[in-house]
Structure 1
Amino acid sequence: MPPTLIPRSGRLSIIVSCAFLSLLAGPSDARAEALHDIGPAEYVADLLIAEPEGEAVVIGDMLAGTHDLEDTADHVRDLFSDLGVPFHVYASPSMPYTYEGRAFLSEVAERVGADGLYVHIADGSPRVRTVAVGVDTPVEDVDGLVGARARGEEHSSIETIAEIYVETLLDPALEEWAENPWHVPPRDPLDEEGGDRSSSGLLDPDRPGASADAGLLVGTVGGALIILAVVRVRVLRRRYRASKEDLPGTGAVVGAVAVAAVLAIGAGAATSGAVLGRSENPASVRRLSSPPHVTSTERIDRIVEGWGDTPLYVDPHVRGDRIGLTRIGAGLEEGTVPVRAALVVQHGSDESAGVPDVLAYALAHTYGEEGVYVVLDVIGGRVGTAFVGARPTGEGFDWSPPRPSDPDGVALAESLHGLADAFGDTVPDPTVEPRVPPEVEERIARSPDVPRGPGPGFLSDGLLPGLFVVGPLLGAALSAAHLFGTRLVRRAVPIRGRRLRAQAEREARRMLEDLERVPNRTPGLSEATAEADVALAALHGDPDDLDLLGVIVLARRARGRLSGTVSRPSVCMLDPLHGPAEGRGRPRHTRRRIPLCAECLRLPEEERVPLLLRIGSRIVFHGTAERVWGRTWYGTREVLERHMVEEERVAR
């Protein structure tokens, strides 16, 4: 396995953590030390073990600021269920210095002790890591192929990367890609052209003119919807008038107007920055307005629970030597004011947006006892504090870890020793309450819950021109293109043979299953058996597209006889795939009346276009009298027997 590259800042932070712990450590009780000796792999393994067996998905709590952890886990679990093998999926922020690729996963798998796929997904990164235990993967380099398919997905969500992962493993071209990994196509052609699907520049709330442009977009969509709905209602009226039935309401127009209004209101809020361009999860960010002003308390509760054993909590994600932690915790209680410290790894996607002061405030509010609350971000080298019933004297608390030029030195450890000295001047003061960090107010101010009105130009320069000019023109053009395009396609384009074959095989299989399941005295069994015999003879005799269509019709009719749902054996002769006929009518360009389904009966005669098939090099009407299927109307106008199909096949 290639060596894991740890960024300079990551190495520095790890050294900081180790130096801090080793400097202050001393002899301690082994059992107490074991309480802190939990690393990333053991912690993640314990979380996966607590999940449903074979369907374990854990979304790390450091993603609580940008994801609904439970909903995301359910979505990822649904995606991976399609693989048909046990799976253990862990998602986290992209932190290679904490999760060392397959080495981390291998240790997790060893601790879990169950077979299956072990997958690590890093949020915002197209790279995944996989370790297979007791199961075979279709190809060896699964991660490389998934990474190639996910090109251009650098800012995509966990769900998107999980979807690409599953799609890649289930793709029929997987083995071909494995043989030629340099030519694996990305999931979306836009990626090859440098397309950016992460955001919409048109609706960027900070761009000049964005409000007017968004209004134009919404007005255009709304106007087009209204015109499309009006045209649709007129078409339906013609169809129902032709079939002498009543039109069931004109709610489509009302619905289109309502949709246009909703879009206008929604986009107006979006352009003001209320919705777009925000990273927080809307379901979680609503909690910011009340203490402890974080989107999730999962990690808060874990730290508070850890303080029940010692005032020093070391997060499982923190790497480094943990010897001497009990002695360190005891030292924090020796001052005039108790100190509670937490060594953590923070990220911009966590519940406190990666700000140590916010986490310290949340801990102080949740724990509720007087003292000093200190949060050390060992990766970022930052510190956050909160005071409850205590205040610093003298010049106050002003400390930050320096960045030494020599990362292998001990200068940072010495400065951490200075951090302990900084609390010596802290004295009790019952009037002191924890101060809400300014970052909390900024986060609340930009959250989606703060109401805003549409920006300037949204209505006059955007919505109205789009709604009354551009939208109606676009709707009329789309309606015309749809009506004429549909007629041209139905007149000239035959149904695909590959689709017919798959459908015929599926219907035949279901027919056989029904025949095996029903009792011998089932009404209609003899007729269904005869039709099944003809259908199977056609299916197994080198069928063309018309034979396949006949198989579908006979198989459906046989199943209907067995279930007692066939009241009329005749089929729609305009398009047999429509199902049973409900009456007779004339198709376009002919005087002969043929059986038609209810939908075709509603159509005006000029819109009753028959189904076309490709037979050899010709495109013909499915009901052509040259074939036994058309002459017998698929066995409803004349008895259709097996020998008739076989003789016709020999003659061809």
Structure 2
Amino acid sequence: MARMRPFNGAAAVLLAALVTLLAPGAPAAHADGPGTDRTPAAFFAERLTEDPEGSAVYVSDALAGAYDTEALDAELHRVFDRLDVPYYVVAAPSPSSYSASEAPVSALMDRVGEDGLYVLISPGPGMVEASARGVDLPAKEAARKILYDTDVRSDPGIDEVARAFTAELTDSAVARQGADPNQDRPRTEEPWEFLPSALNPGRSTGAGNLGLLCGALGSTAGLLLLGFAVRRSGRKKERPAPRGKKKRPLPLRAAAVVAGAPLPVVGAVAAMVLPVAGGAVLTHAVGDDVTAYETARLKQAGEGVRRGEDERFLSEPPYVRDTSRVERIAAGLEKSGFYLDPMAASALAPDEEEDLAERAAGAGVPVRMAVVPMDTADESGGDPEILAHALHSVAGEDAVYIVAAAGKGGYGVQAVPFGAGPDEYDLRDRMDRELGEGAEASTAEALGAMLTAVEQGDPDGSETFPPPEPYLPDPPDPEQGRPYMADYFGDGAAPGFVLLGPLLIALIGAAWWALDRFAPFPVRRTGGLTARDVPAGADLGDPDAPRRPGRAVLNRMFDRECAELKKAVEEVGEGHRRYPEAMSALDAALLLAEEEHDELDLVGLVVLLRTARGRLRGTPAADRPVCGINPLHGPAQGRGRGRAPSAFCPACARLTPKERAERVLRVRVDGAVLPHTEADRFWAATGYGADGTDLADEVRSRLGVR
């Protein structure tokens, strides 16, 4: 077999030229070398090998913004050591930030291939994915259960989630019941969470909404009670004015009521004040509790493994406090102008990666491009612009720094030029035009569009200005943004009391007027009394009887008058001279009640029964005609100033013609509501018996009964 000879000088030169032709662009850099396995699971499995088998924990440096990664690593070891089973735990951003298709825990278990508990914990409440192989632990059930029913607070740390998860693992009920979201367990909630969100003063608009509601309720209730007091007192204390004399104006009557009825006025004022005061007390209490809660939460966040919000950013370069991941990315960019984070490798296909790396190397200006997972827990707070500034500060090299959040498309790509290339706003505008408005682009398409924008250069040849400093989030202040008392009164109670309450009163009044004017059923009484207040047997009428009583009220009047007449008949006995007349009236009334009848018939029967009862008991007024305005008012007042009998009861006689017209009884006859005098019936034609007609005989005659 011939021995292979070493390359001579000419062969070496030819080989170098061939390599140069085949690879014109620099290859992309990876944190763990190019390799052929580009999945996050492979990356996690490799990192877990750095710990002893069966007690392995990997904490991603993409969490270095919100956590002390070394302290978190030690805490996770301590928590899972207590289970006394092999475990492989990864703490990393949510898989949605770096993997669109892979199930990391299942793939990780296949990669490692050992028995044990496999767990992926991400920032957020209940963000646990777990599985077990060869160990008797309900991993999946516990992970699902902690999502629905956990003792941790609404914004837990990864260490808190880990402790709650291991507690669920050791709970025998989990294995028996599985993940039952309806099982009651104690929870640590934010204060006053039972209040509706829109009315919770601890929320962004809750104080203003609560103030608006309380102000409107107080104003409406107070004005309604005050109006009711004015109306009632005015009716009781001011009898109808003599004919031709006008009533006192409403303001004077209201003033008289206020002066003469302190209790109703005090009640109205209390109704106005109490809702507003109660809402103010609630707002103050909620504000104090929420402030205390937020202060305690921030203090807890700054203790132990979790960094406080005020510890994450600096006011000067590199702008981030923890640069561990920034240094790793910068080291990769030093080898090549393109860096693909191994956790984000699935965001680009191999050919897309090679094409982007080649274009970045030949862009005409220095370009440094990184594709990484971005999360609010990372050192940059999930902001690619802050990461670009940090990379420039750590690398110390001017270039166009392009940072892409894996899987976020055009929204996750940010370019910041440092001493090279067009202005960053021009780059963003060009990229958007290249992608097309409203288009959903992949990470590769968005980066390609940004590189096109960089390759176009600066056609105007204008000077490239230094990029502005990145926008850094302000440290949280528990007092800042809390609505509390100023918003309760200024945005809520004041406009609710002054504007909304009177508007509601106006709407209620308009609805009441419309119902009273157009409704086919009775809405109010002229005398200010309800139907059930109408006396039945105390006398022969009621001057405050309803103007529009309705069938239900008339039926109750009829029933009571029947009962009163029966009682009077039993009291006097059959020997009374008016006994036959009373029994005739009662018999006729009951006969008509059994047949078809309307509201006017009921009015006539009430008059018939009252007249019979009055005559049976010897009441002189029973022989007088009934009031022509409303027969339910009772007998007319006898003779007026002249010799002719008056057609009005005493109350109606004192009214002006206009006021009498407003009190005329209205009944429904043949489907129409009309004044009782306009109905073509024998009741009104005979003056309800005033012309001497025997109403009982007339009723029987109309029914064909003798």
TM-score scaled by length of structure 2:
0.44
Q: Report which of the two structures shows the higher radius of gyration computed on alpha carbons.
A: 2
